[in-house]
Amino acid sequence: MNIKNLLVTQKKNNKVAITQGNKHLSFENWYTLSSELHNFFLDNQVFGNVALCMNNSIEYAIAYFGITFLGETIVPLNPNMSNENLLSELKFCDVTYMLVDKSQSDQIQKWILQEKREIILIEVNVTEEMKIEIKKFEDNTFKERVNEVVQDKSVAILLPTSGTTSNSKRVMLTHENLLTNIKNNLPSLRANEKSVFLIALPMYFGYCNTSQFLTSLFLAARIVISESKFIAKNFFHITEKEKITHFTAVPTMLKMIIDYRYGNLYDISSLIQICFGGGPCKTEYIQNFCEYFGKDKIVQTYGQTEAGPRISFKTYTSGEIINKSVGVPIQNIEIKIEKETTTDFNGEILIMSDSSMKGYYKNIEETTKILSNGWLKTGDLGYLDDNGELHITGRKKNIIICGGISISCEFIEEVMLDFPGITETVAFSKKDELLGEQIGINYVSEYAVNEQELKKYFKNRTGLKNIKLWLEQVEQLKKTYNGKILRGG
């Protein structure tokens, strides 16, 4: 099993595979250009883990499979990360070769020379005529190299975790992991070769990598790449123009769409399915999404990078009352709840699937903590209801112990999001000399909030009358590279 075969099987297909602005790349040309890049790699003895540091683009897709054809491991990087973080990622992932697009090569090359980093930069550019241009930048002072890292050829990609801490790990997903997750997820998609996928999430993001980018290729469907930062107006324009059928987003993107005042001027009736996930979402918002797009088009998803990533999905049928589950497992995924005691209502969510990661790169200790006898410990807390639907109640590590009472951060955030006007919130622990910990909450609201009224509401809603509460209204919350809220005060 190898993901390169997804493109190899389409090498004589002249149908358009990717649209980016006025550029159109056929499957046949995609294969040809990736093969040209592969040959360049062979001629220049490129080896090892190869970094892919590009914005969403046709170049990204070509480079992705150029590396795959080479049989090496892809290391996708956020092109907007700081130089300090970039250096840390390159060093940790044992990268010697980094692929960039034309817009970044000069700046990154200057930084590499200034810092005297032993990184060989390869610029990949695709012209308007769909011809590939490849340039290699190298400091002549370090030409002799030996690949000292033992490569695991079964590993296709090293994806960053979707965690919210600064010390994220790299997840090793094999070719089998990726292909298994694609196939297991297909029945939930209602997609085929005639489908048109709009990609607006970062392509280096695990949520996009498997469920959109590779899945569309598996189906021989068309991808439309949104070039700029996500704006609701662009979504409507592209969806109408390109007849988009499938779109995946985080909740904030969907809220921007339904809040756009001129949305009714566009025809977006081509949409068949809108998937969303990546974090908690207010029930009110889900109801609004369903009313705006139609219940039959909305799919809520749950997953983790370590799982491949998709784990479960929830559809909203016309007569169904919206609840707070994340749906049922996708096919061939088994879920069990590991409770600490028999009387516990919920416990840690464990999954078993051939799509679960091989492990964390260079981190055996963390790998053994969450992989055991075929089961992947997600670190999420939850339960299965009588209908087999999964409910997420919190993170195992996101617990605040205040006055001897254990409180889930996710529970706190769920309560806060039900307060009128509050759109985003994050709970965290604050040190307290008397209680050890107190609850800290930052929140974003559409208007000024009376703090005393909010505290009264919170204590009445939770029944936690005697706990200490620290509140702060902020303009925006800090977020990770993939849009998840960053924890901490």
pLDDT of residue 165: 37
* pTM (2 d.p.): 0.84
Residue 27 lies in a domain: yes
Is residue 471 within 8 Å of 439, Cβ to Cβ? no
268 and 311, same domain (yes or no): yes
Distance CA 310, CA 211 (A): 7
Q: How many domains does the chain have?
A: 3
pLDDT of residue 265: 98
Distance CA 251, CA 16 (A): 30
pLDDT of residue 406: 67
pLDDT of residue 210: 97
Residue 479 lies in a domain: no
Short-list 55, 90, 86, 72, CA closest to 204: 55
* Angstrom distances, CA of residue 366 to CA of 91, 165, 377: 19, 15, 11
432 and 461, same domain (yes or no): yes
Residue 168 lies in a domain: no
120 and 186, same domain (yes or no): no
Distance CA 249, CA 254 (A): 7
29 and 78, same domain (yes or no): yes
* Angstrom distances, CA of residue 403 to CA of 85, 211, 359, 395, 464: 38, 43, 37, 20, 10
* Angstrom distances, CA of residue 450 to CA of 251, 418, 421, 430, 453: 26, 15, 11, 21, 5
134 and 244, same domain (yes or no): no
Q: Residue 90 is inside which H or E element, if any?
A: helix 83-92
pLDDT of residue 144: 47
Residue 331 lies in a domain: yes
* DSSP code string of 415-437: HHHTSTTEEEEEEEEEEETTTEE
57 and 108, same domain (yes or no): yes
- Please report, as a single letter, which amino acid is at residue 379: G
Quick one: angle between helices 251-259 and 232-242, nearest 10?
Answer: 80
Distance CA 430, CA 434 (A): 12
Structure tokens that stand for 339 in this block: 């409770």
Residue 341 lies in a domain: yes
pLDDT tens per residue across span 27-41: 999 999 999 999 999
Which 8-state DSSP code applies to residue 389?
-
> Containing domain of residue 62, as a range?
4-9+23-151
Is residue 438 within 8 Å of 401, Cβ to Cβ? no
Residue 349 lies in a domain: yes
Instruction: Residue 416: give its domain's CATH number.
Output: 3.30.300.30
pLDDT of residue 483: 67
51 and 199, same domain (yes or no): no
Instruction: Residue 147: give its domain's CATH number.
Output: 3.40.50.980
Q: Which of 111, 136, 151 is the last residue of a domain?
A: 151
190 and 265, same domain (yes or no): yes
Short-list 327, 321, 320, 316, CA closest to 389: 327
Distance CA 115, CA 474 (A): 37
Q: What's the per-residue H, E or C state across 189-238?
A: CCCCCCCEEEECCCCCCHHHHHHHHHHHHHHCCEEEECCCCCCHHHHHHH
Is residue 211 within 8 Å of 259, Cβ to Cβ? no
Q: What are phi and psi of 421, to 5 degrees?
A: 95, -25
Q: Residue 16 is inside which H or E element, if any?
A: strand 16-20
Judging by beta carbons within 10 Å of its beta carbon (0-12, 13-18, 19+), is residue 138 exposed, middle or buried?
Answer: middle
Strand pairing category for 155-160 and 170-174: antiparallel
149-152 long-range contacts (CB < 8 A, ≥24 apart) are 149/48, 149/49, 149/94, 151/48, 151/49, 151/72, 151/73, 152/73, 152/358
144 and 265, same domain (yes or no): no
407 and 291, same domain (yes or no): no
361 and 241, same domain (yes or no): yes
* Angstrom distances, CA of residue 353 to CA of 174, 281, 334, 446: 13, 26, 7, 42
Contacts of 278 (CB under 8 A, 6+ apart): 162, 207, 250, 251, 482, 483, 484
Instruction: Residue 313: give its domain's CATH number.
Output: 3.40.50.12780
Residue 158 lies in a domain: no
Q: Which of 350, 372, 395 is the last residue of a domain?
A: 395
pLDDT of residue 140: 52
Q: What are phi and psi of 390, to 5 degrees?
A: -90, 135
**Which residue do the tokens 């032993």 mark?**
118
Distance CA 61, CA 20 (A): 11
Residue 17 lies in a domain: no
Note down pLDDT in tens along the chain; length 489 residues. 799 999 999 999 999 999 999 999 999 999 999 999 999 999 999 999 999 999 999 999 999 999 999 999 999 998 887 787 788 889 999 999 999 998 887 788 777 777 667 889 999 999 999 999 999 987 555 554 555 555 667 999 999 885 443 456 899 999 999 999 999 999 999 999 999 999 999 999 888 999 999 999 999 999 999 987 899 999 999 999 999 999 999 888 999 999 999 999 999 999 999 999 877 777 888 899 999 999 999 999 999 999 999 999 999 876 676 777 899 999 999 999 998 777 677 899 999 999 999 999 999 999 999 999 999 999 989 999 999 999 998 877 787 867 556 688 888 998 999 999 999 999 998 877 656 678 999 999 999 999 999 999 998 888 777 788 999 999 999 887 556 787 765
185 and 144, same domain (yes or no): no
